[in-house]
Structure 1
Amino acid sequence: MSRKTRIVATLGPSLEKLVDKVKDYVDVFRINLAHGDSDSHKRYFELIKTQAPDSSILADLPGPKLRVGDIGKVELKRGQEVVFSPDHGIIVQEALFYKSIKPGSTILLSDGLIRIRIKTVDKDSAVGEVLTPGVLTSRKGINIPDMTLDYGLTDNDFRLLDEALSLGADYIGLSFVLSENDVIKAKEKINNRAWVISKIEKNQAVNRLFKIVEESDGVMVARGDLGVEIGLENLPYVQRKIIKVSKLLGKPVILATQVLESMVSNPLPSRAEVIDVANSVYQGVDAIMLSDETAVGQYPFEAIQYLNNIIKSSEDKVKPMRPSPMKSTDDAVAFSSVSLSELSKSEVIAVHSRSGLSVIRVSRLRPKASILAFTPDPVVARRVKLCWGVYPFTLNENPGDLNELVTTLDKKCRELGVRGNLVIVAGDPKMESGRTNLLKLHHID
């Protein structure tokens, strides 16, 4: 129970043979549905459930993202003339691409590492000149600065959403969320079968940030496309803003993109990457995600190990900032539990929750004590695994009243080796789920 910030690792060709080896480090495995097909998606789900059954699964929808097709690896040189078309050159099959560019447009490839100025455009082809050279590989993203989208969810997203839910996803990542309406539509379709994680990567989303976070179950700072969209110089401020709003509203927040990017091809991270991870821990993110590092990198296991070590070292030295309590009875109990644990020197806060809300309320306050989350619902147990400092356990029984609840938690904590003062937080089992109205200082000899 030493690491409180969670690790999310993207499953891909590099990591699929190492799932059993990394399962003790990875809290959530991410499956990027923009790649592969139904058969490979099913295989990845089954791989995680078989080899890492205690880990949760994030299924990431592609959204209306423009991507390069299957081109292998192409070296682009400065001044080189390149052709975009659906079947040759730099393959781009989406009609939206050709509708969104014009002569003089500058497009960005591979998270902005490659820049190309468009010279001519036809209905289904275009010619451009390379301004910033680099090596372009299949399925890399295409960004068109200042392009305004009319929608955030596509028909393909809804198809993949059904697939992910049928395979047992715990979280659904919504790419290119534009407003809270995208989140509402997705949640209507999901009907509480998974948590909705909104990826903030468009300027339109930043402008609607509070409403989007309010409607979401969790948020991802998707720094790749976001940095291209708003300008890299603005990214640090916007990252802090997203984290602050997410913590204020009690929604888990994931930091993503180029976390340990140099480890795609190197066995050690750069100094700047180590500092970036540490600063993210200090800012109080719930989880940090690895993408290419584990999906296609040469050192996936080492990347996970380094991330784990950096997080643990950072958490030992600096406490994350604690947000102010919300003005509600439920949050008042959660806030009091944190204060009580510190004053009574309790090392554990035991939270009983049927919906997961009581767990989230305590987690957002970043207590020094470990949070043991007990729930009768294994689905809830997998979901709260994303939350900072939470260690979930599934109960085989569902206590009928407060006395039975305290007796059950006493027994479970004893089995886990908990001794001394223990703070218990829960909702009355006789009331509707989602409430937090019990606070008890309990002692285990």
Structure 2
Amino acid sequence: MLRLHLTFCALALARAFQPRPYAAAAASVRSIGFRGGKSSGPQSFHSLQALSTPEEVEHMQMLKSQDGRWAKRTKQVATLGPASSSREVIEALFRAGVDVFRLNFSHGEATEKKALVDLIRSIEEQYDHPIAILADLQGPKQRVEQFQGDGSVMLRDGQSFRFDLDVQRLGDETRVGMPHPEIINTLQVGDTLLLDDGKLRMTVTGSGDGFVDCNVDIGGKLSNRKGVNTPTIVLPISPLTPKDREDLLHAMSFEVDWVALSFVQKAADMAELRGITGNKVKILAKIEKPQAVDDLKEILNYSDGIMVARGDLGVEMQPWEVPVIQKRIIRACREVGKPVIVATQMLESMIDNPTPTRAEASDVATAVYDGADAVMLSGESAAGKFPLESVRMQADIIANVERDPDYLERIHEDSMKDIVGGTSQNDPTNAIVQSGRSIAREVQATAIICFSVTGTTVLKTSQSRPEVPIMAITDNIRTARFLALSWGIYPVVVPRGVITSIGIKDAVRAAARSSMEKGLARNPADLLVMMAGLPFGTPGVVNFLRICPAGGPDVWEPPTPGSGLLANHDAHM
């Protein structure tokens, strides 16, 4: 039987409470809170003295420098590369607002990726803030072979051109090798071939043993190793090349948090990836082919999240189709409560320029207005001249949209439609989460705090798009890291077993202290909405909902002797 504990601290009393300055309140008692330390992982759990020691002052100043991060709802993903491979730049990108770092496995060696992972984890520990790492696999990218002479040919509109399996012979103006029998054997008369990111277009006019003949519809320069797209067919190939499988094993050994699969065509592709990863890492499908758009619902069933990869998607589909498809994908993800990233060419001109075009700024803003969980930078942060400026510009655009009075109202209305039309109907846990969101709005709470083991409850809360930040308190560092991608969620990690061993009173007390420490609450009278599953540690269950002030005698007093809180304190120092 579902037990719903609704403990309401009287709003009138909370507002009548005479707040003391934060440091003075802390100085009056020995308080307990969630906070980072030097033991296992980026967060530890221990007693805090008054903020009078140099260590405490330094820690608080560092947390306060991240106040803007806690105010931001939409997350930022930045790709690392030659322009952003040093600790100094990566740390600067994190401080500027990056929540997730993307490692592009299309380039570089595994040792280079491991070095980047180590840098990110050291920054994570320094700032006591979980950071997600996304490994992006190259996928089965099809390419032509090489040409004679300078390695390129000019093809005229209307001429004939052949692709064959003779990969040893250099190409010329009439033919070129294509080392992909799966394409040669699948193409039929009338199918379309796109080359060099869609700059050249051809239509199949005939085929034979080991070759296809095409008419050049749109000609141009074709060079060595340029890519081939096949928008009209589903290729009978594995979604994972031998290189991808090797890279995947490396990524999992590095303990990345997300793995993205490129050129997904159908749900079975994600099922194959899941068969390898199991539950060791979250998997994300990159939607960049028309076939994947058609099979989106089933792909979502096998995925933990989606990336709208507009580069190849914009090649295989008409440019005017992409904005509508982007909105459809975002809506589909929100209906099932799974994170969605909008990617590719968001601030493309900032690869070479310190400011974006107005159209690019509007592009980022549109993704935020649509309710995307995250927006991503690719070449801008990986190889551009202005990686830090690109992240800051993206953060400024996000902040400006999220300050718009219409933004959260629009997001709230959309989230209600998503939940009614999605998979969350007739779900008691979801009903409580929605109640928590509504209560937070009604009492003007400053934050929603969720105690979570697997992240399920926190994701449901994020799906509801509350007006206030969501603090996710968990004892699972992997959970904390993958949640860093999702809208409005900011994780705090405690050592294993702490949540399940303390009483609810002490847990509420510690969470309230943490809200002050992190800057979510700035006044002891600020109200917090807390949700949990009792007994603690029950995955996917929410049956506790409480409103309380961030400060006050009950919150700031020391924990009950023998409650389990102090016992765990000593074990994890």
TM-score, normalising length: structure 1: 0.88
**Cα contact 2:434–2:461 (8 A) shared by 1:** yes
Aligned pairs for 1:328-367 (under 5 A) are 328-367=427-466
Query: Which residue is 2:90 aligned to?
Result: 19
1:150 positional shift = 2.6
1:147 to 213, 233, 246: 233
Pick one of 353, 365, 369 that aligns with 1:266: 353
Match of 1:179 among 248, 253, 266: 266
Q: 1:45 aligns with which of 97, 117, 128?
A: 117
Partner of 1:60: 136
Structure 2 residue 373 is matched with structure 1 residue 286: yes
Deviations 1:139-168 (A, max 9, x none): 764312213123452242333222210011
Q: Tell me the percent identity.
A: 34
Q: Could you say what secondary structure the match of 1:442 adopts?
A: strand
Distance 1:91 1:310, change over 3 A: farther
Q: 1:357-404: CA deviations, max 9, x gaps?
A: 111111111111111111111111111000111111111322434334
CA-to-partner distance for each residue in 1:123-146, whole Å, 9 max, x for gaps?
Answer: 58999969354797x876431221
CA deviation after TM superposition for structure 1 residue 253, in Å: 0.6
Amino acid at match of 1:398: I
Q: Would you say 1:29 and 2:101 are equivalent positions?
A: yes
Question: Quick one: distance in 2 between partners of 1:86 and 1:263?
Answer: 38
Structure index of larger Rg = 2
CA displacement at 1:198 relative to structure 2: 1.3
Supply the AA of the counterpart residue of 2:339. P
Q: Does 1:189 align with 2:276?
A: yes
CA distance in 2, matches of 1:293, 1:39: 23
Unaligned runs of 5+ in 2: 1-69, 552-573
Structure-1 residue corresponding to 2:292: 205
Whether contact under 8 Å (2:73, 2:489) holds in the other structure is yes
Match of 1:416 in 2: 518
Deviates more, 1:366-375 or 1:205-214: 205-214
Structure 2 residue 508 is matched with structure 1 residue 437: no
CA distance in 1, matches of 2:308, 2:530: 33
Distance 1:15 1:361 in 2: 34
Could you tell me whether the CA contact under 8 Å between 2:99 and 2:484 is conserved in 1? yes
**Residues 364-403 of structure 1 mapped to structure 2, 5 A cutoff:** 364-396=463-495, 397-400=498-501, 401-403=503-505
CA distance in 1, matches of 2:306, 2:537: 29
Residue 148 of structure 1 aligns to a residue whose secondary structure is coil
Paired residue total: 443
Gaps in structure 1 of 5+ consecutive residues = none
Does the aligned pair in 2 maintain the 1:352–1:374 contact within 8 Å? Answer: yes
Q: How does 1:204-223 map to 2 (within 5 A)?
A: 204-223=291-310
Structure-1 separation of matches of 2:499 and 2:363: 43
TM-fit CA distance, 1:425: 1.3
The 8 Å contact of residues 380 and 386 in structure 2, kept in 1 or not, is answered as: yes
Moved more, 240-249 or 26-35: 26-35
Q: Deviations for 1:314-371, whole angstroms, at most 9, x for unmatched residues?
A: 1111225232232201111111111011111101111111101111111111111111
Indicate conservation of the 8 Å contact 1:349/1:369, yes or no.
Answer: yes
Letter in 2 for 1:202: K
Q: Conserved in 2, the CA contact under 8 Å of 1:152 and 1:176? A: no
Given the two structures, how large is their TM-score scaled by the length of structure 2?
0.70
Aligned to 1:321: 411
Name the CA shift for 1:402/1:263 in 2 (closer, same or farther; >3 Å): same
Contact 1:152 1:177 in 2 (8 A): no
SS at match of 1:23: helix
Q: RCO higher in 1 or 2 (8 Å CA, sep ≥ 6)?
A: 2
The answer on 1:6 being equivalent to 2:78 is no
Is 22-31 or 403-412 further displaced after alignment? 403-412
* Superposition deviation, residue 23 in structure 1: 1.7
